[in-house]
Amino acid sequence: MLAKEYCAAAMFMIVLGFASSLDAQPLSVPVHPQETHLWCWAACGQMVMEFLGLASDEVRQCRQAERLFRRNDCCPQPQSLTTPPAECVREGWPDFPSFNISARCVRGALNPDELFSEVKLFRRPVIFSWKYTDLTEHALVIIDFFESGMFYFLTVVNPSQGVTGEVVYGDYVSLPGTYSASYAFYAIERTGPGAIAENCPKVEAPLEPDSSVFSSAREAAEKSLKRIVLDSDAQRLRTWGFKNKEEADAAVVGAPIQEFLADADAILMFQQNSSVGLTLRPSGRWTFPVLVNGKVVTSLRVREFGQNLWKLSTFGDRPMGPTTIGPGYIGRLVDMRENLLKKKIGKPEDFIEVLVPSFSQEFLALRNNKSVFLAPVLDDASENGYILRSAEETFSVIRFDAMRRDM
């Protein structure tokens, strides 16, 4: 594959010769442990941006939080005596364009050729995240990539301990039943004003914008939407897909989709005649599309944390495909449901969302009595591509792919 990139065998040999001289030279990325339990993303951003030559004070983790969450109180003084406000201690992603740095992102893992090019040829670190089976994520930095015997290895900085270690490539991709690669930030470089983050995830914020508790999922969705629109300025509304304040005022929530999780162990042991109910477990979250004139603009999720107790969890849709143009993930999910409903397949309440975190798989599913049929949520799906398959067939494909990868 490297030969294809450089279009000539001679160039390929030059590249390999150049790479061999770099095998023992990891990138000199300064190591910084994360300063709060949720700032792994900021620690990774700090390490990479310092490596690129930005001033240490400018890229402190608290400074990144201030920019990302539009606050000015995330860097308490004196720093050693106080902790940041709770509103600053949130999950996030490095906001590289605000520092005049461009980046590209891909869902899942980079392949060995891509890692070789980034780390060994272009001498650029890579930020990646692992998504765990409980849907939490953790970001790390790759500073070296090399081959030893029959295996590829990565040298990785883990900000939770501020330590550097080696990871086998297969374990970087996934550890079934524990985590799988969620995103990779690569081609990270200083480009000046106009920097862009291509296909990179955005923060689904504000998280928990108020302390309101509601008695139903729909009440939580409708009242939270009104509160967000009321409290947000035009610029913030545009980041969520609204053209203007008037369009946001006209937004309504649509029919919800309940989220379920499928554990890796349950999928690997799933049998055709077993109860699918044992395989899928509710996550406690419901997703509501936010509609303007019947079209999905963004989405919000609510979660149940007690009997008849509901709160807003996240607001915002994530992009699908190589650009942010077109429907986001929830938009795609709703489009799939609407196309199937037009074909007289099921009712709105029969459809659910199924996540398989260990294998980075996401599905729209139709429950029919005790049977479940699934269609993958793909970034290149078309109306004709929404094909529902049985749980047995779908899980068999996942099992086969897992076994083939582990060979």
* pLDDT for 203: 66
Number of domains in the chain: 2
Instruction: Answer positive or negative: Cα dihedral of 234, 239, 242, 243.
Output: positive
Residue 92 sits at φ, ψ, to 5 deg, of -170, -170
Same domain flag for 13 and 129: yes
pLDDT for residue 322: 46
Q: Residue 392 — pLDDT band, cuts 50, 70, 90?
A: confident
User: Is residue 289 domain-resident?
Assistant: yes
Q: Are 182 and 225 in a shared domain?
A: no
The closest of 259, 255, 269 to 391, measured between CA atoms, is 269
Mark whether 304 and 401 lie in a shared domain. Answer: yes
pLDDT of residue 278: 53
252 and 149 belong to one structural domain: no
Tell me whether residue 132 is in a domain. Answer: yes
203 located within any domain: no
Q: What CA–CA distance (Å, rounded) separates 388 from 390?
A: 7
Dump pLDDT digits (tens) for 239-270: 778 888 899 999 999 999 998 887 766 666 66
Q: Are residues 280 and 147 in the same domain?
A: no
Q: Which domain holds residue 281?
A: 217-406
Q: Are residues 269 and 185 in the same domain?
A: no
Q: How far is CA 211 from CA 207, 220, 224, in A?
A: 11, 11, 10
User: Reduced to 3 states, what is the DSSP secondary structure of residue 282?
Assistant: strand
The token duo for 97 is 């364009």
**Using one digit for the tens of pLDDT, what is the confidence trace for 124-164?**
999 999 988 667 789 999 999 998 888 999 999 999 878 88
| Whether residue 39 sits in one domain with residue 184 | yes
pTM over 0.75: no
Mean pLDDT, all residues of the chain: 80
What is the domain-level CATH number for residue 24? 3.90.70.10
pLDDT at 172: 94
Residue 396 within a domain:
yes
Domain shared by 29 and 163, yes or no: yes
